[in-house]
Amino acid sequence: MKILKVEFENINSLAGKWCIDFTDPSYSELDHSLFVISGKTGMGKTSILDAITLALYGATPRQGVIYNGNDGNAVMTSDKGTCFARVTYRCRKGTYVSEWNQRRARDKADGNLQNAQGKIWRIENPQDPIFAGNTGRNSELARANAEIIQLDYSQFCRSIMLAQGEFSKFLTSEEKERADILEKLNGTEKYRRIGKKVGDHRREAKAAKETSQAAFDALNNTMPKAEDIEKDKALLAEVANKEKALTDKKKDLEARIAWRNSMNESTRSLESAETELAKANKDKSEFAGNEKRLADAEKARECATLHTELQGFRKHEADDKAKLENFQKQLPQVASDLKSAGDNKAIAEKEKTATEQFIAENEALWNEIRKLDQDLKNATSVKAEAENRKATAAQSLSEAEAELKKAQDTIKSLEPQVESLAQTQEANAKDAELAGIIPQSETLVASIRGFDKKIADEEKAKKAFADDLKKAEEGLNDANALKQELLEQQNELFRNDVLALANVIQNHLEEGKACPVCGSTEHPACGHSNGTVADESSVTSTAEKIRELNTKLQDADAKLGQYENAKSRALTAGNAASENIESLNSQKNEASEKVAELWKPWAEFDLANADSTLADLKLRLQQFTANKTKFDKLSNDLAIARNNVELYGKKVQHEQDHLEKETANLNDVSRKLDELRSSRSEKFGDKDVEAVAKEATASKTAAANKYDAADKAFRNIENRHNELNTQITALKGSLEKTAGDIKTASEKFVNAIAAKGFADEAAFQAALLQEAEFTKLQNEKKRIDGAIATATGKKQAATEALEKLKAERSDETPLQALTDGKAAVEKELGELQGSSGAARARVKAYTENVAQLQILQKDLDAKKAELSRWEAMGEWFGVMDGSDFATFVQGLTFKSLLKLANKHLAIVKDRFRLVAEGNLGFKVADSEFGNDRRISNLSGGEKFLVSLSLALGIADFASRNVRVESLFMDEGFGTLDDATLEDVMNCLRCQQREGKMLGIITHVESVVNSISQKIMLERSTSQKGHSTITGPGVTRVA
């Protein structure tokens, strides 16, 4: 994964839009893939890294996740309303752009924060985003990028973005903190979950087995004895035989009862059918009269169509005769109206022709007058415009003269002020340097005061070291005196008692055996004894005294060594304190001299009055700046005024010429207008040509409309006259045809009713019935006929059923006797079944429980097997919370991490090697010391080298599945000596040679100077509290 470009706006002190393009050609040059991001504290160096993690994960190492207004936004520049961060990166899956942005309401600094938004797209397809929406509490943007890059936020911050404090975090942490780091690094939380899951399954399997065992035992304990069940089965077999005999008897009685009931039912049905048939025959007899009327009506209805047709012809004939009479009455009046309409049309046509001829004769004159009127109108407009231009020219001349006077007055007012300010600024020109001197002086004065405190601390330490030295010298003198005293005692002992001791030893020496004093096996003095025999107790006492003195001398020597070391340490510390005091005084004097040199043009340096002097200098700078601002403004105003005098002088002359020209033009336009008015009056007077033409046109239109109306009226009456004649002729023909139709229809109708037995049309109409009455009689006839047929069918069916039942059985037993016999059998059967119910229930329950017990046994066997499997796995995974398994995996991870760290440590310090100790502890093997060293025994520089190696090892481990081509390190390097710093830089250059683009954030001058590729941050001169960025690939976006 490689960072190609970083773009951001309004992140912390980095106000405005910035772009750092790492694809700039300079980064591909030799050694330029190692670069430094440098600037003073607070300039915004770390903010560049914040922009990278914001764009990818919506979070920063210092602030955490930033997604909505409730939790605030500490990265947005304080006086801005929007901010964003965008990163272009390349990974295995391609090149992507990821953006994070947040704004305040109305994009104003005082608006409420809105939810942060995120967006990811392929660089070749920006219109189709992979992700777009709220970044959210659940880190949606971070999850989307982690899916693409294959590094989550924690892994990214340990493999690509090594933030401040991360170097020493792993080194100085306790084992529990290291375990947490390793857990996040290697994802061992999942192993903890696996171990816990195994414990959960183990617990669940045990509970399931116990539940299954309890269910099996509970049922098994309630099972009855087998011999009791066999007795119940024998009883049930005996009852079954008796039950069968009673059941067969019950079935026979039920069949006989059913036959007897069927016989009774068939008899009742026969009697009912005979009653219904008698009633139906009676109704038919009573309906005989109406049945004759219904038959006549049915015959008459068969001739009704011919009668309706005849009546229609008769009505049509009557209607046509009435119409013919009406039309014949209208015809004379319409003929008279037609003649009047023809006369009116002729008069209207004559008037129309006269109006058309008048317009044709005057059209040419009207057009000529219209042209003259248009010319007059144009000339009038031209004159008005000429008058306006003349007035405008006069106004412009007046304004130009006023502006000229105003500019001249301004020059008279400004010239003395500008000259006075110029003299003041020239006299105080040195004050301009105060803008740079004052901040520098404030820093120097603060450092001088800091030197005073440091010197006081060193003086206090020096005094303490002097006291320690005095105590050490006093102790040393006492120890020397004691030792001298002991030596004298020893000499005295040797003078008085040693000969006796030597004599005793000499007498006890044997040739060939070792001397207890010197160890030699040769004893030349054995043969030269002086014959002196010492007391054995005296010898023993002397030996004890020698041992006691030797012990005291050893103690004295130890104290002498301690006091010598204490004296040496006190002398060394005292000398160091003196050197520090001398160095601090030198630095203080140097700073004081520098302040004195800076203030020389204005004041003498006195630390006690430094604050008041600085205040005076700030006031002087403020006054100088105010005067300069005023001078610049007045000078600019004076230049503008002088320029205006020249401009408005020219403009006055121009406007005078313009006014004369417009006056001449107005006179010419007025003359032409008078000529046009004279010509028009001669030809048409004061008449309005459009009114005259309009009146003529209106007369023409009225005449034409009158003619059209007369013509239309004439045609309408003419059409009506023709229509009447046509209709009268048509009606006469229709009447003649209708008379023939009536004759034909009348003959057909008379023949039809005669065939049906009607004497004439009156008899036919008398036989007709109303529709309701006809329907009612029809329905009544159908009902009576249907009742007779139904009753006859029922009687026949009942007779046949009765005969069939008689043929099936001959049984004279009364129904009540059969019913009583059945009840007696059912009672006996019920008593028999009741006596065996308990046995039947026991046998049924036993059979069901045996089947259930088999199911429970099978389930219990399965649960035991499952528990056995999880018990075995539980032994492998350890305690049920999963911590044993997670710790085991973390131990493996830790050993792998130490191997990676040792690879980097070998580059910077090949004498060191990290060695695992316990589960998550380690120590440092030092080849020069020949033994292992604790971390607490390392120097500050050595600790930094080990921390760096561990940090790079963690970075390698976190990115083991991802090729990392970018690495950013945010570390001060301020505590390292030159040799250690050189070792560190060699290690980092190895990272560069492995293909990584490596960016280092620091303000240490030696580190900055050792790297040629630089991105520099400086305080903005135009925006207070903001910074600017310069360097290769850096642009500020407008």
Mean pLDDT computed over 729-746: 86
Query: pLDDT for 926-970, tens place per residue?
Result: 887 777 888 777 777 777 788 878 878 877 776 666 777 888 887
Query: pLDDT for 332-348, tens place per residue?
Result: 888 888 888 888 888 88
Give the model's pLDDT for residue 726.
87
Give the model's pLDDT for residue 300.
81
Closest CA to 860 of 212, 208, 206: 212
**Spatial contact of 255 and 808, defined as CB atoms under 8 Å apart:** no
What percent of the chain has pLDDT above 70? 88
Residue 41 has pLDDT above 90, yes or no: no
Give the model's pLDDT for residue 165.
58
For the record, the structure tokens of 336 come out as 């008279």
Closest CA to 894 of 337, 267, 348, 181: 181
Can you tell me the distance from the alpha carbon of 342 to that of 289, in angstroms, rounded to the nearest whole number? Answer: 77
pTM to 2 decimal places: 0.40
The pLDDT confidence band at residue 776, using thresholds 50, 70 and 90, is confident
Mean pLDDT computed over 663-678: 82
Can you tell me the distance from the alpha carbon of 1020 to that of 14, in angstroms, rounded to the nearest whole number? Answer: 10
Give the model's pLDDT for residue 347.
87
Handedness of CA 156, 158, 162, 164 (dihedral sign): positive
The domain spans of the chain are 2-160+966-1037, 228-300+771-803+819-835
Give the model's pLDDT for residue 546.
64
What distance, in Å, lies between the first and last C-alpha atoms of the chain?
A: 30
What percent of the chain has pLDDT above 90? 8
Q: What's the mean per-residue pLDDT of the chain?
A: 81
Give the model's pLDDT for residue 519.
45
Mean pLDDT computed over 717-730: 86
Query: pLDDT for 240-288, tens place per residue?
Result: 777 778 788 778 878 888 887 888 888 888 888 888 888 888 888 887 7
Give the model's pLDDT for residue 394.
87
Can you tell me the distance from the alpha carbon of 143 to that of 159, in angstroms, rounded to the nearest whole number? Answer: 17
837-877 vs 226-286: helix crossing angle, rounded to 10: 120
Give the model's pLDDT for residue 573.
78
990 vs 506, more confident:
990
Owner of token pair 């329950």: 845
Question: Computed over its alpha carbons, how large is the radius of gyration of the chain?
Answer: 67
CATH 3.40.50.970 matches 2-160+966-1037: no
Can you tell me the distance from the alpha carbon of 176 to that of 469, in angstroms, rounded to the nearest whole number? Answer: 44
The 10 Å CB-count burial string (b at 16+, else e) for 72-102 is ebebbbeebbbbbbbbbbbbeeeebbbbbbb
The pLDDT confidence band at residue 547, using thresholds 50, 70 and 90, is low
Give the model's pLDDT for residue 583.
81
Can you tell me the distance from the alpha carbon of 575 to that of 466, in angstroms, rounded to the nearest whole number? Answer: 10
Residue 517 has pLDDT above 50, yes or no: no
Mean pLDDT computed over 98-113: 89
Query: pLDDT for 609-640, tens place per residue?
Result: 888 888 988 898 888 888 888 888 888 888 88
Furthest CA-CA distance within the chain: 210
**Helix H or strand E encompassing 33:** none
DSSP string, 265-326: HHHHHHHHHHHHHHHHHHHHHHTHHHHHHHHHHHHHHHTHHHHHHHHHHHHHHHHHHHHHHH
**Spatial contact of 375 and 630, defined as CB atoms under 8 Å apart:** no
**Spatial contact of 476 and 559, defined as CB atoms under 8 Å apart:** no
The pLDDT confidence band at residue 4, using thresholds 50, 70 and 90, is very high
**SS3 assignment, position 4:** strand
Query: pLDDT for 339-379, tens place per residue?
Result: 888 888 888 888 888 888 888 888 888 888 888 888 878 88
The bridge status of strand 34-39 relative to strand 997-1001 is parallel
Can you tell me the distance from the alpha carbon of 918 to that of 77, in angstroms, rounded to the nearest whole number? Answer: 49
Residue 503 has pLDDT above 70, yes or no: no
Can you tell me the distance from the alpha carbon of 506 to that of 504, in angstroms, rounded to the nearest whole number? Answer: 5
Residue 495 has pLDDT above 70, yes or no: no
Owner of token pair 């009573």: 286
Mean pLDDT computed over 909-916: 85
Mean pLDDT computed over 189-211: 81
Residue 873 has pLDDT above 80, yes or no: no
Q: Can you give the three-state secondary structure of 205-221, one letter per residue? A: HHHHHHHHHHHHHHHHH
The answer to which of 121-130, 197-206, 222-231, 537-546 has the lowest mean pLDDT is 537-546
The answer to which of 308-312, 508-512, 777-781 has the lowest mean pLDDT is 508-512
Residue 66 has pLDDT above 50, yes or no: yes
Give the model's pLDDT for residue 541.
63
Query: pLDDT for 75-90, tens place per residue?
Result: 888 888 899 999 999 9
Give the model's pLDDT for residue 84.
95
Mean pLDDT computed over 669-689: 80
**Helix H or strand E encompassing 6:** strand 2-11
Closest CA to 967 of 998, 1001, 1000, 1011: 998
Instruction: Specify burial of residue 969 (Cβ count, 10 A radius: 0-12, 13-18, 19+).
Output: buried
Mean pLDDT computed over 1014-1034: 87
Mean pLDDT computed over 768-788: 84
Residues in contact with 122: Cβ distance below 8 Å, sequence separation at least 6, in sequence order: 94, 95, 96, 97, 128, 130
Residue 8 has pLDDT above 90, yes or no: yes
Give the model's pLDDT for residue 533.
45
Residue 105 has pLDDT above 90, yes or no: no
Can you tell me the distance from the alpha carbon of 456 to that of 8, in angstroms, rounded to the nearest whole number? Answer: 47
946 vs 519, more confident:
946
The pLDDT confidence band at residue 168, using thresholds 50, 70 and 90, is low
DSSP string, 432-454: GGHHHHHHHHHHHHHHHHHHHHH
Residue 983 has pLDDT above 80, yes or no: no
Give the model's pLDDT for residue 32.
59
Can you tell me the distance from the alpha carbon of 110 to that of 868, in angstroms, rounded to the nearest whole number? Answer: 67
Closest CA to 552 of 645, 482, 447, 464: 482
**Helix H or strand E encompassing 335:** helix 304-427
**Spatial contact of 564 and 410, defined as CB atoms under 8 Å apart:** no
170 vs 214, more confident:
214
Query: pLDDT for 781-823, tens place per residue?
Result: 888 888 888 888 888 888 888 888 878 777 778 878 878 888 8
Can you tell me the distance from the alpha carbon of 401 to that of 570, in angstroms, rounded to the nearest whole number? Answer: 94
Give the model's pLDDT for residue 1017.
92
Residue 499 has pLDDT above 60, yes or no: no
**Spatial contact of 951 and 987, defined as CB atoms under 8 Å apart:** no
511 vs 595, more confident:
595
The pLDDT confidence band at residue 401, using thresholds 50, 70 and 90, is confident
